[in-house]
Amino acid sequence: MNEPVRIQQEDFSQDAEIAALKASSLRIGGIATFLGCARDFSEGRNVSEISFEAYGSMALAEMRALREEAITRFDLLDARIVHRVTTVRAGDNIVFIAAGAEHRAAAFDACRWMIDQLKQRVPIWKKEITPQGEAWVTPHP
């Protein structure tokens, strides 16, 4: 839980992640967060479940590098990234990103940058399970 970057099967608590972020510095004046969660509909099909797979060691190393880059690039005071790798159903949490900065602009910018970079750089794949069958997801731009 104290590790700011994690890949895990189990669900996470946004409150606990934000509390950990706030505890890292009393200079934080703004925290922006992104929560990615599972949808029940995609590309015109109902989705029953989404199954995730990762190249675990590389994914974790890339997420750690991404966090360090964000802290430097946006002058953050701290950041956290948690991604679940398991099978989820509609409404379940998938990924959580939080950026803490002195002011809101940097926090907002960093949060968006981190999720955009994660999608491009972190070796994780998702497969949608639908009543018609299973299909690996083609990434969206």
Partner 1 sequence: MIRVLFFGPVADRVQTREMQFDHTPGMTLHDITHKVGMQYPGALSIVSFIAVNQVQVRDKQLALHDNDEIALMAKFSGG
Residue 122 lies near partner 1 (rule: CB under 8 A): yes
Contact at 8 Å (CB) between 35 and 17?
A: no
Where does this chain touch partner 1 (CB under 8 A) — which range of 9-17, 23-31, 48-56, 102-110? 48-56
Nearer Cβ to partner 1, position 20 or 35? 35
**In whole angstroms, how large is the CA radius of gyration of the chain?**
15
3-state secondary structure 58-115: HHHHHHHHHHHHHHHHHCCCEEEEEEECCEEECCCEEEEEEEEECCHHHHHHHHHHHH
Q: How far is the CB of 97 from partner 1 (least distance, A)?
A: 9
Binding mask 65-104 for partner 1 (x = CB under 8 A): ------------------x----------xx---------
Q: How far is the CB of 61 from partner 1 (least distance, A)?
A: 6
